[in-house]
Structure 1
Amino acid sequence: MTIADAACAKRTIDLENYYNLINGYKQPFLDSTYSGSDERYISGTKFEEIHSLYLFDRELRNLFIRYILELENNVKSVLAHDFSAKYGHENYLKIAHFDISVKRWEKMTASQKIGAISALISGLQHEIARQLSKNNPMISHYMLEYGYVPLWVLVNALSLGTIGIFYSYLKQKDQNDIGRHFLTIYRNACAHDERLYNLKSLRNNMKPNSIRTLSLHGKLGIPVNSSNNPIYGKNDLFAIIIIFKTMLPKKSFDTFFMALKKLDEQGNRVDSPEWADCSGFYQGYALVLEKDGMAYLVDRDFNKVTEGYPADSVSQAGGMFCVAKGDEQTFLYMGLQETPESN
């Protein structure tokens, strides 16, 4: 790795922390063909490029946390409204309104499942008591005036994690799985300055924690694997964008998406020493032109997902990627279709 200004690099490391900066963002710049016991960077890698990726990810976190918090509030409101409309404002403390059947993926007995739901209800009661001890005005008002706290009031004091558990124990007909247990991982990454751009949502057993496949996955033309599941937009940052598109008000999503496009256009892209040119990312893909004159579509982890195309330059506009060679242009769309054109 080359360092253009050693003094500046030292100040940057002192300010940002070596572990957060280098260990967190070096992966795309490491030589994957090197088999030694240590690590080796791709020839020509610059310290400034790693720092650029770090700064880009910081801006991503700042952008995503705003809309995750907005969505969190929306999810709480929808849950409280739907549950209360079906069962009444004070009946969220009754086991009868939750699903006590044991699912095949739940490694527990019937008694343990009821115990888990009881623990949730106990936790809700504990939160009410905690808020009363803090003289929370809304909760105090309803408890003193009516003897109970409506769910639509209580949800404002509940964490997204507790909301996720509440979701998981709802009856199937009442459940909306979109985003369940999912946003918490990304919210925490944003809140604690953890790497976001390539974060994958995993369960405790390290298996993917995925959102459901939606019609939107198909409309976007995302490639599928051998199990017919989309290879992107399931347990990655792109999945968060899909959740935003599905659940945020249109005005909020449009504002978010414009900010995301602006961030992409600000120039905080990552250039590899092996590339002669590269496009911006769009929905998990980018075009890169290697120095041998071959262009490839790559994913967020820089894995090649298409064959190579002879090229002089590459570009991208929305979901359309352009490979130019002389007077001939080949266009790749989100569905990875090829459309050659000649001028």
Structure 2
Amino acid sequence: MCNDDYKNRIKKPTTFKEQVNILRNRNLIVDDEEQAAEVLSRINYYRLSAYMLSFKTNDRFYEGVSFSDVHNLYEFDKKFRNMIISILEPIEIAFRTHIAYLIAHKYGSIGYKNQDNFRNADYHSGMLQKFQEEIERSDEIFVQHHKSAYGGVFPIWVVIELASFGLLSKIYSNLKEKDQDENSRYLL
């Protein structure tokens, strides 16, 4: 199928009011059209449509389902997600801190660069590559500072701040077993 065929199948853009009408035509109860259009002006229709899935089948909403039901589910999910993040953030920061502390004090400021300090050479190489990608992508002031002041040499306590939680998990998994045990004791 060529690109023109796809272009012909892509839906045309709609106004917020048209989006409300589409929802109404699919059996969604909309008590306040202006309020629904205002919500859609703040929350992309496509994002909100993910919350609509449990309220419909075959593009038709179940009897009695209202726009407020969908919006309330979205708001509940947002509050729940923020609550979970607020609970997990201190744990992640402590995890990040203790990995950096352990590596720095056991192997030196740039000991993370030495593969001998880790279990798996391939994972270690991937970690270094990810760090480099994050350094190149970052516009953080502390990254620019280390590039100019230290010739781009980054101690573990700096690069660890660029790591995603997924990368942190991989770093921990690649620590030697005795280092994992020691790191776990910090967190308990």
Please give the TM-score of this superposition, normalised by the length of structure 2: 0.61
CA–CA distance in structure 1, aligned partners of residues 161 and 92 of structure 2: 10
- What SS does the aligned partner of 1:166 have? helix
* 1:150 alignment counterpart: 155
CA–CA distance in structure 2, aligned partners of residues 128 and 51 of structure 1: 39
Residue pair 1:2, 1:44 contacting (<8 A) in 2 also: yes
CA–CA distance in structure 2, aligned partners of residues 77 and 123 of structure 1: 18
* 2:101 alignment counterpart: 81
Alignment of 1:40-79 (within 5 A): 40-79=60-99
- What SS does the aligned partner of 2:61 have? coil
Is 1:25 the counterpart of 2:55 in the alignment? no
CA–CA distance in structure 2, aligned partners of residues 120 and 53 of structure 1: 38
CA–CA distance in structure 1, aligned partners of residues 65 and 47 of structure 2: 18
Choose the corresponding residue for 1:159, options 164, 176, 179: 164
Query: Following TM superposition, by how much is the alpha carbon of 1:51 offset from its aligned partner in structure 2, in angstroms?
Result: 0.8
CA–CA distance in structure 1, aligned partners of residues 142 and 104 of structure 2: 25
Residue pair 1:132, 1:140 contacting (<8 A) in 2 also: no
Query: Following TM superposition, by how much is the alpha carbon of 1:50 offset from its aligned partner in structure 2, in angstroms?
Result: 0.9
* 2:20 alignment counterpart: none
**Aligned-residue RMSD, C-alpha:** 3.6
Larger relative strand fraction: 1
Query: Following TM superposition, by how much is the alpha carbon of 1:122 offset from its aligned partner in structure 2, in angstroms?
Result: 4.5
Residue pair 1:30, 1:39 contacting (<8 A) in 2 also: yes
Residue pair 1:89, 1:151 contacting (<8 A) in 2 also: yes
Choose the corresponding residue for 2:145, options 124, 136, 140: 136
Choose the corresponding residue for 2:126, options 119, 130, 140: 119
Residue correspondences, number: 154
Alignment of 1:328-339 (within 5 A): none
Query: Following TM superposition, by how much is the alpha carbon of 1:63 offset from its aligned partner in structure 2, in angstroms?
Result: 3.2
For 1:126-154, what per-residue CA distance to the aligned partner results, in whole angstroms no more than 9, with x for missing partners?
766878995426x766x47xx96432243
CA–CA distance in structure 2, aligned partners of residues 132 and 51 of structure 1: 39
Change (3 A) 1:83 1:64: same
Displaced runs of 4+ in structure 1, greater than 6 A?
128-133
Query: Following TM superposition, by how much is the alpha carbon of 1:75 offset from its aligned partner in structure 2, in angstroms?
Result: 1.5
Gaps (5+ residues) in structure 1? 32-37, 101-113, 177-246, 250-343
CA–CA distance in structure 1, aligned partners of residues 170 and 84 of structure 2: 23
Query: Following TM superposition, by how much is the alpha carbon of 1:163 offset from its aligned partner in structure 2, in angstroms?
Result: 2.1
- What SS does the aligned partner of 1:136 have? helix
Change (3 A) 1:43 1:157: closer
For 1:199-238, what per-residue CA distance to the aligned partner results, in whole angstroms no more than 9, with x for missing partners?
xxxxxxxxxxxxxxxxxxxxxxxxxxxxxxxxxxxxxxxx
CA–CA distance in structure 1, aligned partners of residues 71 and 142 of structure 2: 46
Query: Following TM superposition, by how much is the alpha carbon of 1:46 offset from its aligned partner in structure 2, in angstroms?
Result: 1.7
Please give the TM-score of this superposition, normalised by the length of structure 1: 0.37
* 1:341 alignment counterpart: none
User: Which has the bigger relative contact order, CA under 8 A and spacing at least 6?
Assistant: 2
Choose the corresponding residue for 1:99, options 103, 114, 119: 119
Identity %: 29
Change (3 A) 1:27 1:78: same
Query: Following TM superposition, by how much is the alpha carbon of 1:65 offset from its aligned partner in structure 2, in angstroms?
Result: 3.4
Residue pair 2:131, 2:162 contacting (<8 A) in 1 also: no
